[in-house]
Every structure is written in C-alpha cells, then in structure tokens.
Amino acid sequence: MLTVSVKWQKQVFPGIEIDTSQPPIVFKSQLYTLTGVPPERQKIMVKGGILKDDADWSTLAVKDGQKLMMIGTADEIVKAPEKGPVFVEDLPEEEQAVALGHSAGLYNLGNTCYMNSTLQCLHSVPELKSALLSYSDTARGNGIDQASHSLTLATRNTFGELDQSVRPVAPLQFLQTLRKKYPQFAQQHNNVYMQQDAEECWTQLVYTLCQTLTSDASESAALSMKQLFGIDLVSRVHCAESGEESTETESVYSLKCHISHDVNHLHEGLKHGLKTELEKVSPALGRTAIYTRESRINELPRYLTVQFVRFFWKRESNQKAKILRKVDYPLELDVYEFCSDELKQKLQAPRQMLRDAENAKFGLKTQGKASSSKENEGSSSAGDSSSMDIDKADPSVPKKQLTGVYDLVAVLTHKGRSADSGHYVGWVKQDDGKWIEFDDDNPNIRKEEDILKLSGGGDWHMAYICLYKARVAESKS
C-alpha cells in the first residue's frame, strides 16, 4: 500500500491509499468518488507521462507521501424531466437513481467484463435481491465457510450500490472476495489479471448463493433459490446393445444449447443437449458399451437459464476455441415439449388459464365455465407440486402457477474468438419493456430488434447465456 495526495484544480485530497496489487483503474475509481471526474477523463501525471488504466505500479516509481497532479472535468449533474423547478440534483441519490430509469454501470477493474456482465444479468432478478436482503452480516449457519459468506455479502452490497447510485460502481469488494473464494479468477499473465469465462463466474456465483442462502439464518430465502433457478431432470439411460435401462434424476441450474452444423435455433440445440451418448461399463456385457441418455424436465424454475455451448477445447492449439455459428433464440420460449409426461399433465390447466387470460385481453372467446372449473380442479392438484405454485403463503392472494412459457429478460454476450479474450456485455430488459446494454460503466438504451441480432454468425456480440422469466397463470384456488 502507498499513501499519496492528489491535487485537482484548487483542491488537495490527502491520505489516499493505493493498492499496488490492483490496476490503476481502481485508483481512478477512488478519485471518481472524491471528485466526480470519470476515469476516462482523468489525466494523472506520473513519471514518464500520464497514468494508464492497466499500467504496472512497480514501473512508475510512485513514492509513499508523493503529491500527484490530476487534470479532468467532473460529470455534469443529470437533470430529471422537468416537473416544475425540481431537478435531479435536488433529490436524494436513491431518487436520482430511480429518475435515471435503470441501475448504474460497473467499472472494469482490469479484464473484469466477465464479472460485470454476470452481475448485471443476475441483478435483474428482483426475487434474488430480496433473498439477499434477508441475509445478514452474521448469517453463518449450516457450516458455511467464511469465503462463501463474504462473497454473498459482497453480492448483496454490490446490488445495493447499483440500485442507489447514479454513477458507475467500482465492484472492488466483490472482485476481491470472488478471487478469494475461487482463485481461478485471480490468474495472471505477465502480472496482468487474465480474462475469465463469464459462464464459469455465473455458475460459481449461483452455486455459492444456493449454499449460503440455504443456511438456517435465511431459511425463507433457501426455498426461493431452488424455485428461482433450479431445474430437476429425469433421465432414461438405455443401452441398445444389451437392452439395459435405468432411470436417473439430477438437479441443475441451466439447460445447455449444444451447437452443431444442423442447429439453427435454440429449440434444436436444447434437444441436442437433452439427448446425449455416453460410454460406460455394461454389467450385462462385462465391458464398455454405448448408452443413450434422454433427459426430460421434471420441475421448472421461476427463471430459466440457458447456456449456448460455444466454447470447446482445441487440442491442436491447446486453447479454447469458439463456435461462431448463428443460432436464433426467441423472445418467448415454450419448453413444454422438453418436459416429462408427469410435468406436462400438471402444466395443462395453468397453460389453459394463461391462454384464456391472454385471449380475454384481445376480446377473443375463452373456454366456458364447465371447462374452467375442470381446469381449476386440475390446477389444485398441480398446486401440490413445489414447481407449480410460486406464492403459497397467503391463501387470499391468487396463486401464481408456472406454465412452461418464458419471456427473455437478460442476455449475456461475448464478442471475440476465444473465451480467454474478447469482451462480455450484459443486456437487461427493464420493467417498462426497454432494454439496456450494460457495457461495463457505459449503459446504453437498446431496441428489441438489437437483442435479436445477438444470435451469432459473425464477429459481433453473440448470446452466450440467456435468462428467461416464467410467464405465470393466476388461480384463486
């Protein structure tokens, strides 16, 4: 650690600590908090010229107690739409964030776009934010380790900063705890932190939250994590050669869209992902044999995560390669055909209620009373499944039942040829229907057609992870 003072205009800021193990962009983020000058506008004089975002502190000869000079113009104060004489700067910062219309961006702290895009997409899930709010600083039940506990707190705190700030947030606490819990994200090459895989970051973070939010201290949040993201699969494993057959069950937190030369759409890729071949020892044959594994969804979540399997290990070059093939994905995804017969039966009544409700919006004819009562009868039996009823606590509140239909709410994209390089961005749908592209600290409003152009086939950003939100049917019984 070094301690320096910084002169900016007529002001001097003493006693600023520099963590020399972090890139200078982190130091610039500290100065942004003090001065309001965005990092990209800061010109800090050091030996040899102007301080660069990714410079190596050890080569700059900055000494403890040194006074640095900074030149730069602070951000202009954002004004709200005029309603009388009230301006955004007159509001508390929380209200300024609301007036902005979307949450803040995240500074790139040195090849951390993989982390920023993951955080922005998961931050779009209000139920996850609620679960995190119920997690206290002292919640350490159920044998949770300190690193997992710290990462959960850092996630909670970062989400809070995003909601309350009108300026970009520097997620330094989250980054440090992520690297402590999962050292793979602290890998360096030539003393520079390496780019990492956003899907691995997403998976590790969700796994950690599933562990910590199931602690005794937050039991109510524990159930929601399984309901929010958990997918139960039932699989038939069959060997054509020996005739052996067995059934397996597992819980996962994403569906895989496998990409091959005959996959042009997400549905086709999901079919490939749910039917695979594996080689294992056959007890009947006494040797290895080929088995076919066909999986079906037996329990659905409130938010369905789909990963496009775009990266594979290329042996000849000994690195990850990327499949650039265009694979279209829908704004509305219906997974009914991928469900088990048991789940399909449970979904029928809620699906009919959903169709009737949507037809009524357009003045179209709905099914009659006799049919509706039959559906309610079916939906009450469906309510016995934890995968079907989302809200159970208050019997006076209509039950929200899953239908197997989902709407796209977030897309995490990758631009580049390798998972170890390139750039990740999060695209998030807002409550008012507009989309925001979160390119690190630079949020931009986008149109729906821009989202559909992220399907691949070139060097532009292409979908790597899609997050879908369940469309539900409401039942009064």
141 burial class (0-12, 13-18, 19+ CB within 10 angstroms)? middle
Question: Alpha helices of 165-239 — where are they, by DSSP H?
Answer: 172-181, 198-212, 219-229
Please state the length of the chain.
477
The answer to whether the beta carbons of residues 48 and 23 sit under 8 Å apart is no
Q: Which residues contact 183 (CB under 8 A, 6 or more apart)?
A: none
The answer to whether the beta carbons of residues 159 and 124 sit under 8 Å apart is no
Q: Annotated catalytic residue: which of 113, 121, 339, 466?
A: 113
Q: Annotated catalytic residue: which of 238, 267, 272, 423?
A: 423
C-alpha to C-alpha distances, 392 to 141, 335, 388, 471, 475, nearest whole angstrom:
25, 24, 10, 17, 11
User: What residues pair up with 257 in beta bridges, in sequence order?
Assistant: 308
Three-state SS at 302: coil
Three-state SS at 255: strand
What span, in angstroms and rounded, lies between the C-alpha atoms of 211 and 207?
Answer: 6
Asked whether the CA dihedral 170, 419, 268, 338 is positive or negative, the reply is negative
The answer to whether the beta carbons of residues 117 and 107 sit under 8 Å apart is no
C-alpha to C-alpha distances, 299 to 11, 86, 92, 336, nearest whole angstrom:
60, 50, 43, 11
85 burial class (0-12, 13-18, 19+ CB within 10 angstroms)? exposed
What span, in angstroms and rounded, lies between the C-alpha atoms of 256 and 297?
Answer: 13
Specify the DSSP element, H or E, that contains 161: helix 146-164
- Asked if 414 is an active-site residue, the reply is no
Half-sphere exposure of 73 (CA within 13 A, CB side): 3
Taking phi over 0 as left and psi of -120 to 50 as alpha, with beta for the rest, 68 belongs to beta
- Asked if 113 is an active-site residue, the reply is yes
What span, in angstroms and rounded, lies between the C-alpha atoms of 424 and 26?
Answer: 19
| Tokens encoding 246 | 């067995």
Enter the DSSP assignment of 339: B
Three-state SS at 388: coil
What span, in angstroms and rounded, lies between the C-alpha atoms of 68 and 45?
Answer: 6
- Active-site amino acid positions: 113, 423
